[in-house]
Amino acid sequence: MPVPTTPRDAPVTPAVPRRTSPHPLGVTLRPEADGGGADVAVLAAHADGVEVCVFGEDGREVRTALPDVELGVWHGHVPHLREGSRYGLRVHGRWDPERGLRHNPAKLLLDPCARGVEGEVALVPEVFGHAVDAGLHGDLAVPDGRDSAPHVPRGVVLGPLPEPLRVRPGEQPRTPWSRTVVYEAHVKGLTKRHPDVPEELRGTYAALGHPAVLEHLTSLGVTALELLPVHASTSEVHLRRRGLVNYWGYNTLAFNAPHPGYATAAARAAGAGAVREEFRRAVAALHDAGIEVLLDVVYNHTCEEGPDGAHLSLRGLDDATYYLRDAGGRPFDVTGCGNSLDFGERRVVQFALDSLRYWVSEYGVDGFRYDLMTTLARGRDGFTPDHPLLVALMSDPVLAQVKHVAEPWDIGPFGWRTGQYPAPVHEWNDRFRDGVRRFWLTDAREVALGHGAPDAAGRGLREFATRFAGSADTFDVTRGRLTSVNFVTAHDGFTLMDLVSYDRKHNEANGEGNRDGSDSDTSWNHGVEGPTEDPAVLAARRRSVRNLLATLVLSSGVPMLTAGDEFGRSQGGNNNAYCQDNEVSWVDWDLADWQRDLLADTRELVALRSRYPVLAEAGVRRGHPVREQRQDLRWFAEDGTEMTVDRWHDAGRRILQVLVDGRERGLASVVVVVNAGGRQRDVVLPAVQGLPRFHPRWSSTPDRRRRVVPAGSALRVPAWSVRVLASA
């Protein structure tokens, strides 16, 4: 089908006949000594032509047609494209949406490799490639001829970072996995309400490096700050119609540009270069404090939504290459977001790897958490652990040096892949999350209500022990237990305090009739739904929070805390606050006395993990055959004798002791005593040669007695509690 031409008043300049290369993609500035200007390379494998559109200060557009094409990449030299230039792309070609051909030169497209972004997407019909009405509904078969340039963002050409901000080898913390404690946070939400951060900095990149924020993280024992997406993003149509935004940012517009909305007003006014510098300064400040920076990255889909969505970048460049389709050529969504990138295409793999390297090399980030990573590891026959992207993460000289964490699932066929990713990828362990919640909450509720023992099938002490020991039923034991990134909560779902305060989600503010969000959070309100003044209920909730935190921090694997859980932050029962850019999501730093007490206990727990390194990876000896593994975890019943098969299968048993034995390593040993039953019990500590006594170190109940307890003697353990003791 014929498509509209570009605006008639936009002059077209001839390309300069200079030798250029199809790699790297994006804009590469040439030094002034070489004539200046920039080389541009754009993947548009099914197009008939690509134009680079440069906008002057007066908004006037000058277009340059890229003259050369190799292996689907159009490239050429644009002499008037320089540092600070605002630019976009227009693509000529066929319009046949059913075949993935969505070329429409009337639409200005953002370079997917742009390193700076300026402007926002307007919710108007002009930003759609096909003809739509005022309600944004239309016919895909009919291309729209209106110019989208006034309504979409531009890319901004950035030069090199100032010398003081350049990444230098050796300046990153390089914390080993055995000492890593991850803290998941949102750039804005973490600092927007922080009273010790100057008001003009709150909610910004700059605030991340403020001494008050750094002090909180370091005093908590955090070694890695995992940031929700900082790639430039925009909000979905359905949210904007309801006056909401995609607060979390899982709706990427540009994969190499920091989101301008998280920069200070001064940086935004100064332009994309200042936004970049502000984020780099924040990373440098965190590094100076010994804290790594991990980015939550979204390469599985883009903000262009479904086939009837906006026409902003990849869709207009090369829909047939970038987006996943089924065997019949129809769009195939395995992310639930309207589209999925096709990692069966080598060019898509290249695009993601180039972007990852850029964030490491330019900003010094220390690793990535991959949203819906199964999509990134899908080849032509589905998920494969030998996928080129996974191979590259191990072999690439840049990416092999940083941390990689998978969210090991998507919603496509056979999408749940926990435990199946190869080194060097570590994985969010949803089995840990679900098993620990069941043990301390839903199973505990059944016991508390007198309904008898919880279902024995895969639950009770057996599951608790399996999760505590690093989930050997899930991960390859020869890699050690640090493959598992343990978590009880994350950005998605209830906060830790809401997990013990609500049986049901309360997402009415999201405007979707409370239909969004999970219906199975494995929570327990302890008898009252939501806020209460009942002191018994409040005490029970706070005790459960401490039990969950203790299990998280002391278990084998890498613990991940969610921002605010360390002092009981609540979202009022909203378990899907992705569109709540307000006090619902922002961390409240005005702490009550009980919250300060909880924070102190959390700090003590994390300090224990650092003080007793045997806790980090007990159970196996990395690099040794399974048959040669020594046993560092030993399990004891309440009478001080070792657990037996019959005891493990007794569904009514709710008391367990685990000895994390450090003797062979020359380390102090730790005993964790768990009473998940409804009454106080006297528990006999293990009598093990070489461990004559134990020192109390932590308790989830108010008992703060610190007297030394001889091995083999009884210790009084309150109901629903955890006690921690150590040999030194």
| Residues that are catalytic | 371, 407
Assess contact for 252 and 229: CB atoms under 8 A: yes
Assess contact for 121 and 234: CB atoms under 8 A: yes
Rounded Cα distance, 45 and 321, in Å: 7
Q: Tell whether the torsion through CA atoms of 619, 621, 623 and 629 is positive or negative.
A: negative
Report which DSSP code applies to 97. Answer: G
Report which DSSP code applies to 5. Answer: P
Strand partners, 699: 723
Assess contact for 371 and 298: CB atoms under 8 A: yes
Instruction: Calculate ∠ Cα 655-661-664, nearest 5°.
Output: 165
Rounded Cα distance, 75 and 187, in Å: 36
Residue 517 phi, psi dihedral angles, 5° rounding: 80, 165
Strand partners, 675: 655, 721
Written as six digits, the tokens of 605 are 């727990």
> In sequence order, what are the residues at sequence separation of 6 or more whose Cβ sits closer than 8 angstroms to the Cβ of residue 453?
446, 447, 460, 651, 652
> In sequence order, what are the residues at sequence separation of 6 or more whose Cβ sits closer than 8 angstroms to the Cβ of residue 658?
465, 468, 633, 634, 635, 636, 671, 672, 674
Identify the CA nearest to 717 among candidates 655, 631, 628: 655
Identify the CA nearest to 632 among candidates 620, 648, 645, 646: 620
